[in-house]
Amino acid sequence: MKTQISEISPQVYARVVGILYLFTISAGIIAQMGISNGIVVVDDAATTASNILANRNLFQLGFTIYLLEMASQIAQTVIFYMLLKPAGRSVSLLALFFGLVGCIIKTVSRLFYIAPLLVLGEAHYLDVFTLDQLQALALLLLRVNDLAAGMALAFFGFSTLLNGFLIFRSTFLPRILGILSILGGFGWLTFLYPPLGNQLLPYILVIALIGSISQILWLLTKGVRVEQWKRLAGEST
């Protein structure tokens, strides 16, 4: 029984990571592009506030999907660490920490996404503000949400770069996946200086999407080379 579990474990890790990775990306696209981008109008506080109030349930659904996205990404980050640990225990642990810090920052940022519902509510203590002030504050909170999410991308950049290095040096996953991950990591690191990251974002997204889809497809269809994974796992113990 122990032998059977040890043989199936790396493939289980690979499949689970692939599924979680796919769910994380899908949830993020739905919440951001399908919901948030259709409600929030950049630099137009009045229209944004009107859209939020007119689509309150949809806006709250976006918050729920954001949280599911982050729950999935946390699980993905931890299991990916378990998968890549044989390729380098110290580096994979460092990648895990960077990834989890990014997840924490991005999860906390979603408080600023949902906060406009409180600001635009009808609580009596908000009567000290004018309507224009409340609308401006709501948009400001949404901008903070975006800024914090961009901050998280920088930490994901470190994690993605290190994971790419581990994939490249491992013998149980194709090196091309590591190269694509390294390129994606460098892309996300541009958010260490947000103006640069925002300017290059369309190109970064293309590179990241190619790398992510390639990695997901490989993990779901091929998995890892079990013998090589077991050999490295044995050497690292």
Query: What integer pLDDT is reported at residue 6 of this predicted model?
Result: 47
* Burial class (CB within 10 angstroms; exposed 0-12, middle 13-18, buried 19+) of 143: middle
Q: Domain locations in the chain?
A: 2-230
State residue 86 phi and psi, 5-degree precision.
Answer: -60, -25
Please tell me the distance from the alpha carbon of residue 206 to that of residue 185, in angstroms, as a whole number. Answer: 13
pTM: 0.91
Give whole-number Cα distances, 226 to 9, 122, 143, 204, 236, in Å: 9, 59, 46, 32, 15
pLDDT at 237: 61
Which DSSP category does 32 fall into? I
Instruction: List the Cα angle 40/44/46 in 5-degree steps.
Output: 90
Instruction: Supply the pLDDT for residue 127.
Output: 85
Q: How far apart are CA 212 and CA 232, in angstroms?
A: 25
Rg of the chain over Cα atoms, rounded to whole angstroms, equals 20
pLDDT, position 93: 97
Distance CA 50, CA 40 (A): 10
* Per-residue model confidence (pLDDT) at position 39: 95
Distance CA 230, CA 232 (A): 6
Low-confidence ranges of the chain (pLDDT < 70): 1-8, 236-237
Q: Which residues contact 231 (CB under 8 A, 6 or more apart)?
A: none
Dist CA 146 CA 109 (whole Å): 8
* Amino acid in the structure at residue 207: I
pLDDT at 236: 67
